[in-house]
Structures are given as structure tokens and as C-alpha cells.
């Protein structure tokens, strides 16, 4: 294996810790489809089930269901398991094997600085799982076990990708080999941070207790339209230019969602709707969202009817993933000094 020329390869993952949201779709999956269709890179997409058990207890049946539903969501959104490698993390043991090595490369100080760790462990870090602290090292292993060069993610994952780069750099330096690529985060588009529909300063999240704050990819037309119509806004109409959205996080968020769903820039969206009252804007946005998301939801439901087919796709994806991961793990063990016989 060459030390410097890396195959152009995209890797990204989503946790099956709950249902898919519009944030996951616009911030991640839609862009995964663009990479797949561009054909410039191999594309590898993973349901990170081992990450999903780091935060709070998930009932096993729910985890299994979420993983299959996430797979259906990927496919319904346009990920083609023939073109991309699509699988769940726990079926490829090389991820956790490399993660152990990275646990020994990463420093406690690095892990303690992660904002996601601080947010999720909250006031009682003593009660958080060791897995939650080690989470970013497993994430680095997810990426580097494929020597991935590009990682499309939402804004919230930037710090984790920086840590991945630090781990690769330290490993390469410690062992004196340019073995792991320094992967690039790809955070692009208007919708890299889709916000909560009731509070434009918080991210839209699958774990928020209130359903009104998010659009789920499984929501029906009525639910989508209702949530958008009830989304919080300020009393002013849409401004003439994009600058007029400053200090108006809820208004900005709805413009970004429109932009993400239609592939227009936020400036174009504002220009086309200048002076419109939000009541009307939300009505139009609801129609656009129902139009785009409705067919994905019904395709997901159709795919979920045949779970053995989903499991077959995941199994086949895992086999293909292992073909790439196994030789990289072997070489890593060799570099580290593990006896291989
Ligand atoms: P998660 O659901 O936390 O596993 O996130 C999976 C992917 O979706 C990651 O790339 C996240 O950055 C992205 N993502 C999650 N929530 C949002 C959001 N509200 N806006 C944009 N991207 C998001
Ligand atoms: N931590 C990511 C999230 O919550 C999910 C994830 C795990 C991931 N491993 C990854 C994303 C590797 C990109 C690459 O969103």
C-alpha cells in the first residue's frame, strides 16, 4: 500500500438512535447522494449502531428497528446499494479493533475538550458511559479504517473530524509513516445546521422530547404541513435581501430549509419571496416539503415491509466494507508491532 496516494473515498455515518429528521436529510443524506452521483469518489455510508448505545439505554428491539429504518431512509433518499457501500457498523469488527488502537493514541485532554461530550455528559460526567467519552475515537476509526479522504457532515461534527485529523497526525508521527490520510470535513450548503422549529437557536434533533420541534422523515403530509405552519416566526415579513435575516434565527432557518429542499441559494429564496408575510411563506414551504418528503416517506414504508431484503443489503454492504477494512487493519497491527502469524 502506498504511503501517500490515497484513493479518493467518502465516508460518513448516522446514528440509529431515533428516527431520521429533516436535519439529517438536508445536512447529511441529501449530500451523500450528491457524492454518490458525482462518481468522483468511492462512497461508503454507515449506520453507526455502536455509537447509538453510548448515550442512553436503547431497547434492543427499538435499536434494530431504527437501524433498518435508517437503511430504508438512505435507499428511499437515493443511496443505491450497488453504487455505494451501505452497512451497519457492528457487522464490520475492524471499526472497533482500530478504535482500540486509537484509544491509545488519543489523549484524555483531547476527549475532555469535545463539546458533544460536555453537552451529553452534562452536569454528571461521573455517570456517563466510558463509551460516550471514547465516542470520537471510534468515529475516527470509522473514517480511517477505509483511509477515507472526505467526510460530509453537518456543522455539529466539525470538531470530531478535527480530532480524527489529530489522531491520524499523531499516529503517523509516532510510527514514522504517512499511513493514515488527514481526512477533510465537507460541510457545505445552506442546510448544514437545520434548527429547531420552535427555537431557532437550537439544532433540530431526533432526541428532542417535543415532536413539534422537528420534521421526521416518516411524517405524513398532514404532520409536515402542520409543523411548518406552526413553526415559530417573528412578526415581520420576509426582507428584501438576505442581510435582513440577521438576528432573526427562526426566519433564517425557514429560508435555509426552503433553500435545502429546492437547491436554490438562500439569497434567491429571499429575493423570490421579498415582502411576503410568513403565514403565506410557510404555506408555500409546507407544499414544497410535502412534495419532496412525501415520496421518500412512502418509499421508506414500502421498504420496511421486507426486512429480510434490508438485512440482505446490510450484510452484502458489510462484506464489501470488510474487503477494504481488513487489509488496512492488518497493516495497522503490523505497524504497531503486533505479532501476526
Ligand atoms: P446524527 O443523527 O447525530 O447521527 O447525525 C447524522 C448526520 O446528520 C451528521 O452529519 C450530522 O451533522 C447531521 N445532522 C444532524 N442533525 C442535523 C441538523 N439539525 N442540521 C444539519 N445536519 C444535521
Ligand atoms: N458522530 C456522528 C453524528 O452523530 C455520526 C458518526 C459516527 C460519523 N461515525 C462517523 C459521521 C464517521 C461521519 C463519519 O452525527
What would the DSSP string read from start to end of 91-157?
Answer: G-THHHHHHHHHHTTS-HHHHHT-HHHHHHHTT-GGGS-HHHHHHHHHHHHHHHTTT--EEE--GGG
How far apart are the C-alpha atoms of 139 and 148, rounded to whole Å?
12
Ligand nearest to the CA of 20: 1
Residue with the nearest Cα to atom 6 of ligand 2? 13
Q: What is the mean pLDDT of residues 34-61?
A: 97
Name the active-site residue from 203, 227, 232, 282.
203
Ligand nearest to the CA of 54: 2
Per DSSP, the chain holds a count of helices (H) and strands (E) of 14, 7
170 catalytically annotated: no
Question: Which residue among 12, 14, 151 is best mutated to probe the pocket of ligand 1, counting the most ligand atoms within 8 A of its Cβ?
Answer: 14
What tens digit of pLDDT does each residue of 296-313 get? 999 999 999 999 999 999
Would you say residue 2 has pLDDT above 70? no
142 alpha carbon, distance to own chain's centre:
13
- The alpha carbon of residue 335 and the mean position of all alpha carbons in its chain are separated, in whole angstroms, by 31
Distance (angstroms) between ligand 2 centre and the Cα of 274 equals 37
Neighbours of 197 (CB within 10 A): 26
Give me the sign of the Cα torsion angle 181, 160, 57, 71: negative
- The helix (H) or strand (E) run that includes residue 335 is helix 307-336
Inform me whether the pLDDT recorded for 68 exceeds 50: yes
Residue 341 is predicted with a pLDDT of 86
pLDDT in tens, 120-133: 998 899 999 999 99
Q: How many CB atoms lie within 10 A of CB 257?
A: 26
How far apart (Å, rounded) are the C-alpha atoms in residues 78 and 61? 26
pLDDT 10s digits, 220-272: 999 999 999 999 999 999 999 999 999 999 999 999 999 999 989 999 999 99
Active-site choice (83, 118, 158, 206)? 206
Q: How far apart are CA 88 and CA 85, in angstroms?
A: 10
Question: Which ligand approaches the C-alpha of residue 197 most closely?
Answer: 1
Indicate whether 289 pLDDT > 80.
Answer: yes
Q: For residues 282-309, give the mean pLDDT.
A: 96
Does ligand 1 have an atom closer than 6 angstroms to the CB of 23?
A: yes
C-alpha cell at 77: 433518499
For position 1, what pLDDT does the model report? 46
Output the CA 240–ligand 1 centroid distance in Å: 30
Helices 278-304 + 60-76 axis angle, to 10 = 110
Give the ligand with the smallest distance to the CA of 15: 1
pTM over 0.85: yes
Residue 4's pLDDT band (cuts 50, 70, 90)? low
Q: What percent of the chain has pLDDT over 90?
A: 94
Ligand 2: atom nearest CA of 139 is: 9
Taking each helix axis as running N to C, give the angle between helix 130-144 and helix 158-175, from 0 to 180 degrees, rounded to the nearest 10: 70
pLDDT in tens, 158-193: 999 999 999 999 999 999 999 999 999 999 887 889
Distance CA 31, CA 48 (A): 18
**What torsion do the CA atoms of 189, 167, 11, 24 make, to the nearest 10 degrees?**
-50
| Pocket test residue of 13, 28, 67 for ligand 1, highest count of atoms within 8 A of CB | 28
**What pLDDT is stored for residue 324 in this prediction?**
98
Nearest CA to ligand 1 atom 17: 23
Closest ligand 1 atom to Cα of 156: 12
User: Is residue 227 flagged as an active site residue?
Assistant: no
Secondary structure of residue 66 in the 3-state scheme: helix
Average pLDDT value for the chain: 95
Lowest mean pLDDT among 18-22, 265-269, 277-281: 18-22
Q: State if residue 27 touches ligand 1 by the CB under 6 angstroms criterion.
A: yes
Q: Is 282 a catalytic residue?
A: no
Atom of ligand 1 nearest to the CA of 13: 6
The residue annotated as part of the active site, out of 120, 227, 232, 282, is 120
Can you name the residues that pair with 86 across neighbouring β-strands?
A: 45
Query: Which pLDDT value is given to residue 19?
Result: 87
Give CA 167 to chain center in angstroms. Answer: 20
- Give yes or no for residue 156 CB within 6 A of ligand 1: yes
Which residues touch 159 (CB under 8 Å, ≥6 apart)?
A: 114, 115, 116
| Interacting residues of 113 by C-beta distance below 8 A, sequence separation 6+ | none
Q: What is the pLDDT averaged over residues 94-104? A: 98
All three cell numbers of 211: 415532536
| Residue whose CB lies within 8 A of the most ligand 1 atoms, among 156, 162, 194, for a mutation test | 156
At 309, list the grid cell. Answer: 431484503
Amino acid at each position: 500500500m502506498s504511503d501517500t496516494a490515497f484513493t479518493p473515498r467518502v465516508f460518513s455515518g448516522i446514528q440509529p438512535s431515533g428516527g431520521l429528521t429533516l436535519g439529517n436529510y438536508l445536512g447529511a443524506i441529501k449530500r451523500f447522494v450528491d457524492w454518490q452521483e458525482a462518481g468522483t469518489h468511492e462512497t461508503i455510508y454507515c449506520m453507526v449502531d455502536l455509537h447509538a448505545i453510548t448515550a442512553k439505554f436503547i431497547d434492543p428491539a427499538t435499536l434494530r428497528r431504527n437501524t433498518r429504518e435508517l437503511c430504508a431512509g438512505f435507499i428511499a433518499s437515493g443511496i443505491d446499494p450497488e453504487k455505494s457501500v451501505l452497512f451497519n457498523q457492528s457487522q464490520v469488527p475492524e471499526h472497533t479493533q482500530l478504535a482500540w488502537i486509537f484509544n491509545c493514541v488519543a489523549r484524555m485532554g483531547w476527549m475532555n475538550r469535545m463539546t458533544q461530550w460536555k453537552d451529553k455528559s452534562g452536569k454528571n460526567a461521573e455517570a456517563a458511559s466510558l463509551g460516550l467519552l471514547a465516542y470520537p475515537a471510534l468515529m475516527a476509526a470509522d473514517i480511517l479504517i477505509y483511509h477515507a479522504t472526505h467526510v460530509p457532515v453537518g456543522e455539529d461534527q466539525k470538531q470530531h473530524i478535527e480530532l480524527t485529523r489529530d489522531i491520524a497526525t499523531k499516529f503517523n508521527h509516532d510510527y514514522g509513516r504517512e499511513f493514515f490520510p488527514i481526512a477533510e470535513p465537507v460541510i457545505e450548503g445552506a442546510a448544514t445546521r437545520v434548527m429547531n422549529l420552535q427555537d431557532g437557536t437550537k439544532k433540530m434533533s431526533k432526541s428532542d422530547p417535543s415532536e413539534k420541534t422537528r420534521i421526521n422523515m416518516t411524517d405524513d403530509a398532514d404532520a409536515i404541513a402542520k409543523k411548518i405552519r406552526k413553526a415559530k416566526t417573528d412578526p415581520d415579513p420576509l426582507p428584501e435581501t438576505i442581510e435582513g435575516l440577521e438576528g432573526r434565527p427562526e426566519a433564517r432557518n425557514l429560508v435555509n430549509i426552503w433553500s435545502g429542499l429546492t437547491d436554490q441559494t438562500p439569497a434567491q429564496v429571499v429575493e423570490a419571496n421579498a415582502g411576503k408575510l410568513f403565514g403565506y411563506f410557510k404555506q408555500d414551504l409546507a407544499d414544497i416539503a410535502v412534495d419532496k418528503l412525501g415520496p421518500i416517506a412512502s418509499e421508506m414504508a414500502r421498504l420496511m415491509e421486507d426486512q429480510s431484503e434490508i438485512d440482505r443489503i446490510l450484510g452484502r454492504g458489510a462484506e464489501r466494507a470488510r474487503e477494504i477494512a481488513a487489509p488496512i487493519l492488518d497493516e495497522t497491527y503490523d505497524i504497531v508491532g503486533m505479532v501476526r502469524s
